[in-house]
Chain A
């Protein structure tokens, strides 16, 4: 019985290999039955993996401690929801989740395209199945989630498991890994279509059209996963930060950056037939960075606070990444002729140019983060010394990049394709620039001297202004024709071209988040030792420690402090930061946060200094809430982008209709 889970994983591996061989041979021999049977194998893999996942979840929910995985990641006292979340609480289980999500995606792809793209599909199936098979090898050979505990040859059990780390027992942490995986794994689909269209030399940009929604959805999940992680770090880890440039965080950011670049540069291909090679490179880079990120987080190559075990899977990943990288590079180089650009850059002041710089700068940021993250590995290989760089390095490079990107966000959408005249630039940007200058002047007069913060706020005004004026102009035109009021006209406008206006909403969301990030320039903190009745203050808050509580329950011992918070003499809140020590030996601090739009008051109970004095760390974090508001707006904007537009726009576009074959030159391979 105990081996059924492992058996179904093994069968799934065999079927994935069959799907690769079947679809390739079928395509090669022109045997449609083989192709269809390979697609059915993909569906069967999904069935087997769903069964295996069900087995693991069932074992977790029923406290079946014969399984090593259950014994190390669950315990009897844990609430069922976290027993379920323990599915992805450890290395083996989270790899199983990853694999299961991948198989679900591939099942959807196979089903959706059962009558479409018949020329490309065998390759799509094969490419996805290669990734599937790789991950299945990982969870069948070195890291099976179904290992059972045994003494001698007897299967044995332990009385209770170790439980999930209490730090991970938090709602956003329970959904953070699956969300992130939905994002990362999903990128295999655009990648597979891109490569398949390269292999078959499919005419046109059909791979881009079919995968646009996939790309957007996975991008949305990546963003959501990253921000959920940030929100968790802020609310749980007790240091008040949401981003620490830790290798694991960086690993999640890298593919997001290239995916963002890709989302922008595809527009160049769709509308102008340019940057085709570049798009191939970006889609491949994003996919490989997703795999690379998984490798980085799990192999212990770089030391990180997010500890997964040092495990022997590093070599598997390196092999897989190197092979795929070589294959992709070969494919792109071999088919450069197919990826020829259909038009030329004409002017530095043009929409094309803003896309180009957007991509350049995003890639520069990606590269700097990759370099910084791998610096210990690189320096050890070169000099023999493990040298690492930390947050100040990443900020130093990425803060200017962020500001430049923010600037482009304002400029790009308003600037004309091909080239812009000075006159039109003046018309589009005079007022937003004036608004930027005035707001920066006001902030300077109010005493803000932080140069990057001033620039950031100024640019936020600039971008918001340009986007709002776009909405206003479009809506005014509609309302003058139809007589709708301005709000209804804006909804109508957005509905007519969801992709464009949804995109603007995402831009606004980014602006809102930048306001939140900029708040960090004005953080305040204080660490105090107070007795009961003691007072301290920070920023505009006067705080009194009214009582120190301590006690214990079944799960943990705790010490907490009741702190009355006063602003201008009147009490506004009572906060209770707490420190817990679990029976399993883990500790956790439960911070108390008073969240407001202008600033958060954040209290952490750091411990007892002596018998009756508590150590309290107090922080004021201005504008942090804007990040989470921006997050919501980002989700909203992306969802709007996914809604089909009411009107199908067609764009004037240059297209290569044929090639003139010069005498004496062979016709290019077809």
Chain B
């Protein structure tokens, strides 16, 4: 066989394998980014669809019970109750009013079961003294 043909076959095999891994990886790991309002508006959220739920942590709603943490995410007037039961500790930035993204699934009872929480404090980098307004308009 010509070396070129051999290279062609090898390269195709490698790329096909990786492509297959990536393709199946996406379908197994895809999670849909939704804000609290969007979830509340959706009529029927299938409970096996992975979601990344974004909102602000409602002040005073964080309750710890061992490693289990419950809190509420709010956006405007809507709130969703979240139960976190993951392995990783909550980030230091997770506290009242923080912008948080909870990863997990929405239960049939309307409670969100999260396996991972990301948070960033709203104030830290975004608002400055003499704030320029356009910084927040985009979000």
B64: chain A residues within 8 A (beta carbon)? 607, 609, 615
Contact B3 A347 (CB under 8 A): yes
Contact A356 B26 (CB under 8 A): no
Q: How large is the interface on B (under 10, 10 to 19, 20 to 34, 35 or more residues)?
A: 35 or more
Contact B66 A387 (CB under 8 A): no
A474: chain B residues within 8 A (beta carbon)? none
Bound-state CA distance A387–B49 (Å) is 11
**Chain A positions 367-417 with a Cβ under 8 Å from a chain B Cβ:** 368, 371-372, 375-376, 385-390, 392-393, 396-397, 400-401, 404
Q: Is A72 an interface residue (CB 8 A)?
A: yes
Bound-state CA distance A241–B22 (Å) is 23
Bound-state CA distance A88–B26 (Å) is 36
B100-136 vs A, Cβ < 8 Å mask (1 yes, 0 no): 0101000000000000101111011110111000111
A238-B89, A239-B91 known; A353+B26 contact, CB < 8 A: no
A68 in complex: contacting residue of B7, B21, B121, B128, CB < 8 Å: B128
Contact B138 A397 (CB under 8 A): no
B118: chain A residues within 8 A (beta carbon)? 305
B67: chain A residues within 8 A (beta carbon)? 527, 606, 615, 617
A165: chain B residues within 8 A (beta carbon)? 124
Q: Is B48 an interface residue (CB 8 A)?
A: no
A385-B32, A389-B29, A525-B87 known; A401+B92 contact, CB < 8 A: no
Contact A90 B7 (CB under 8 A): no
Bound-state CA distance A147–B67 (Å) is 45
**Chain A positions 468-499 with a Cβ under 8 Å from a chain B Cβ:** none
Q: Is A364 an interface residue (CB 8 A)?
A: yes
Q: Is A328 an interface residue (CB 8 A)?
A: no
Closest chain A residue to B35 by CB distance? A386
Contact A389 B26 (CB under 8 A): yes
Q: Is B31 an interface residue (CB 8 A)?
A: yes
**Chain A positions 210-242 with a Cβ under 8 Å from a chain B Cβ:** 237-241
Contact A587 B95 (CB under 8 A): yes
A346-B3, A376-B33, A587-B95 known; A388+B126 contact, CB < 8 A: no
A588: chain B residues within 8 A (beta carbon)? 92
Q: Is B45 an interface residue (CB 8 A)?
A: no
Extra A-B contacts (9), CB below 8 Å, given A360-B14, A392-B28: A149-B129, A303-B54, A303-B101, A309-B125, A360-B11, A360-B15, A385-B32, A389-B30, A609-B64
B residues near A, CB below 8 A? 3-4, 6-7, 10-11, 14-15, 17-18, 21-22, 24-26, 28-33, 52, 54, 64-67, 87-93, 95, 101, 103, 116, 118-121, 123-126, 128-130, 134-136, 138-139
Q: What would be 9 A-B contacts, judged by CB atoms less than 8 Å apart?
A: A68-B128, A372-B22, A372-B26, A386-B33, A388-B31, A396-B24, A404-B14, A527-B66, A589-B89
